[in-house]
Structure 1
Amino acid sequence: MTIPLFSAASVFGPALQMGGGSFASLAVVFIILAIIAYVVGARGIAGLTMRIAYILILIFIVLAIVSLIL
Protein backbone atom coordinates (compact mmCIF):
# COMPACT_ATOMS: atom_id res chain seq x y z
CA MET A 1 0.00 0.00 0.00
CA THR A 2 1.39 3.39 -0.95
CA ILE A 3 0.93 6.54 1.07
CA PRO A 4 0.41 9.73 -0.94
CA LEU A 5 2.91 12.48 -0.26
CA PHE A 6 0.29 15.20 -0.48
CA SER A 7 -3.42 15.12 0.12
CA ALA A 8 -5.86 17.68 -1.20
CA ALA A 9 -6.51 18.91 2.34
CA SER A 10 -2.83 19.50 3.05
CA VAL A 11 -2.30 21.34 -0.23
CA PHE A 12 -5.45 23.46 -0.40
CA GLY A 13 -6.43 23.62 3.28
CA PRO A 14 -4.16 26.48 4.40
CA ALA A 15 -4.92 28.53 1.29
CA LEU A 16 -8.66 28.16 1.84
CA GLN A 17 -8.44 28.96 5.56
CA MET A 18 -6.47 32.19 5.10
CA GLY A 19 -9.38 34.22 3.75
CA GLY A 20 -11.96 33.71 6.52
CA GLY A 21 -14.54 36.22 5.28
CA SER A 22 -13.30 36.21 1.73
CA PHE A 23 -16.42 37.57 0.00
CA ALA A 24 -16.68 40.56 2.30
CA SER A 25 -12.97 41.34 2.11
CA LEU A 26 -12.93 40.95 -1.69
CA ALA A 27 -15.92 43.26 -1.97
CA VAL A 28 -14.11 45.90 0.08
CA VAL A 29 -11.00 45.51 -2.10
CA PHE A 30 -13.03 45.93 -5.29
CA ILE A 31 -14.83 48.99 -3.89
CA ILE A 32 -11.47 50.58 -3.06
CA LEU A 33 -10.16 49.72 -6.54
CA ALA A 34 -13.28 51.26 -8.08
CA ILE A 35 -12.83 54.49 -6.13
CA ILE A 36 -9.16 54.69 -7.12
CA ALA A 37 -10.00 53.98 -10.78
CA TYR A 38 -12.71 56.65 -10.74
CA VAL A 39 -10.36 59.24 -9.24
CA VAL A 40 -7.65 58.41 -11.79
CA GLY A 41 -10.13 58.74 -14.63
CA ALA A 42 -10.67 55.17 -15.79
CA ARG A 43 -14.45 55.29 -15.47
CA GLY A 44 -15.02 52.07 -17.44
CA ILE A 45 -12.82 50.09 -15.09
CA ALA A 46 -14.44 51.81 -12.11
CA GLY A 47 -17.86 50.66 -13.25
CA LEU A 48 -16.65 47.12 -13.75
CA THR A 49 -15.03 46.89 -10.32
CA MET A 50 -18.13 48.37 -8.66
CA ARG A 51 -20.24 45.71 -10.39
CA ILE A 52 -17.91 42.96 -9.15
CA ALA A 53 -18.03 44.41 -5.62
CA TYR A 54 -21.85 44.54 -5.79
CA ILE A 55 -22.04 40.87 -6.82
CA LEU A 56 -19.60 39.83 -4.07
CA ILE A 57 -21.60 41.74 -1.45
CA LEU A 58 -24.80 40.01 -2.58
CA ILE A 59 -23.12 36.60 -2.38
CA PHE A 60 -21.77 37.45 1.08
CA ILE A 61 -25.22 38.52 2.33
CA VAL A 62 -26.90 35.39 0.96
CA LEU A 63 -24.27 33.10 2.49
CA ALA A 64 -24.46 34.95 5.82
CA ILE A 65 -28.25 34.53 5.94
CA VAL A 66 -28.00 30.84 5.02
CA SER A 67 -25.35 30.23 7.68
CA LEU A 68 -27.48 31.99 10.31
CA ILE A 69 -30.50 29.88 9.42
CA LEU A 70 -28.55 26.62 9.51
Structure 2
Amino acid sequence: HQARAVCRRAERSLMSVQTRDQNIQATALQLLNRLSDWLFVASRALQRAEGGQEVLWQKNINEMI
Protein backbone atom coordinates (compact mmCIF):
# COMPACT_ATOMS: atom_id res chain seq x y z
CA HIS A 1 0.00 0.00 0.00
CA GLN A 2 2.95 2.33 0.52
CA ALA A 3 3.95 2.08 -3.14
CA ARG A 4 0.39 2.95 -4.13
CA ALA A 5 0.40 5.96 -1.82
CA VAL A 6 3.62 7.22 -3.44
CA CYS A 7 2.12 6.65 -6.89
CA ARG A 8 -1.05 8.58 -5.97
CA ARG A 9 1.07 11.43 -4.60
CA ALA A 10 2.99 11.56 -7.89
CA GLU A 11 -0.34 11.63 -9.74
CA ARG A 12 -1.56 14.58 -7.67
CA SER A 13 1.74 16.40 -8.16
CA LEU A 14 1.60 15.92 -11.91
CA MET A 15 -1.95 17.25 -11.98
CA SER A 16 -0.77 20.48 -10.41
CA VAL A 17 2.03 20.97 -12.96
CA GLN A 18 1.18 22.91 -16.07
CA THR A 19 2.82 21.52 -19.21
CA ARG A 20 2.82 22.76 -22.76
CA ASP A 21 1.82 19.42 -24.21
CA GLN A 22 -1.48 18.40 -22.64
CA ASN A 23 -1.42 15.03 -24.44
CA ILE A 24 1.77 14.01 -22.67
CA GLN A 25 0.34 15.12 -19.34
CA ALA A 26 -2.91 13.22 -19.95
CA THR A 27 -1.02 10.08 -20.93
CA ALA A 28 1.25 10.33 -17.89
CA LEU A 29 -1.75 10.82 -15.59
CA GLN A 30 -3.48 7.83 -17.12
CA LEU A 31 -0.36 5.71 -16.66
CA LEU A 32 0.02 6.72 -13.01
CA ASN A 33 -3.67 6.04 -12.40
CA ARG A 34 -3.46 2.56 -13.92
CA LEU A 35 -0.25 1.85 -12.00
CA SER A 36 -1.97 2.87 -8.79
CA ASP A 37 -4.85 0.49 -9.54
CA TRP A 38 -2.41 -2.33 -10.31
CA LEU A 39 -0.44 -1.73 -7.10
CA PHE A 40 -3.68 -1.89 -5.10
CA VAL A 41 -4.73 -5.18 -6.69
CA ALA A 42 -1.22 -6.62 -6.35
CA SER A 43 -1.08 -5.75 -2.65
CA ARG A 44 -4.43 -7.44 -2.06
CA ALA A 45 -3.31 -10.54 -3.96
CA LEU A 46 -0.06 -10.75 -1.98
CA GLN A 47 -1.93 -10.27 1.28
CA ARG A 48 -4.30 -13.09 0.39
CA ALA A 49 -1.46 -15.38 -0.79
CA GLU A 50 0.32 -14.92 2.53
CA GLY A 51 -2.85 -15.77 4.45
CA GLY A 52 -3.31 -12.27 5.82
CA GLN A 53 -6.67 -10.75 6.53
CA GLU A 54 -7.88 -7.66 4.79
CA VAL A 55 -8.93 -4.68 6.88
CA LEU A 56 -12.07 -3.20 5.38
CA TRP A 57 -12.47 0.55 5.51
CA GLN A 58 -15.83 1.80 6.75
CA LYS A 59 -16.95 5.39 6.48
CA ASN A 60 -17.64 7.00 9.84
CA ILE A 61 -21.11 8.51 9.45
CA ASN A 62 -20.62 10.75 12.51
CA GLU A 63 -17.74 12.58 10.78
CA MET A 64 -20.05 13.59 7.93
CA ILE A 65 -22.39 15.52 10.21
Return the TM-score normalized by structure 2. Answer: 0.51
**Is 1:28 matched with 2:33?**
no
- Following TM superposition, by how much is the alpha carbon of 1:26 offset from its aligned partner in structure 2, in angstroms? 2.8
Checking the alignment, whether the CA contact within 8 Å between 2:8 and 2:36 is kept in structure 1 is: yes
* d(CA) in 2 for partners of 1:34, 1:45: 12
- Following TM superposition, by how much is the alpha carbon of 1:42 offset from its aligned partner in structure 2, in angstroms? 3.0
**Alignment match, 2:30:** 51
In structure 2, list runs of 5 or more residues that go unmatched: 50-65
- Following TM superposition, by how much is the alpha carbon of 1:36 offset from its aligned partner in structure 2, in angstroms? 0.8
In structure 1, list runs of 5 or more residues that go unmatched: 1-19
Return the TM-score normalized by structure 1. Answer: 0.49
4+ residue runs of structure 1 moved beyond 4 angstroms? none
Larger RCO, structures 1/2 (Cα 8 Å, 6+ apart): 2
Aligned Cα root-mean-square deviation (Å):
2.4
* d(CA) in 2 for partners of 1:49, 1:21: 20
Paired residue total: 49
Checking the alignment, whether the CA contact within 8 Å between 1:27 and 1:56 is kept in structure 2 is: no
**Alignment match, 1:42:** 21
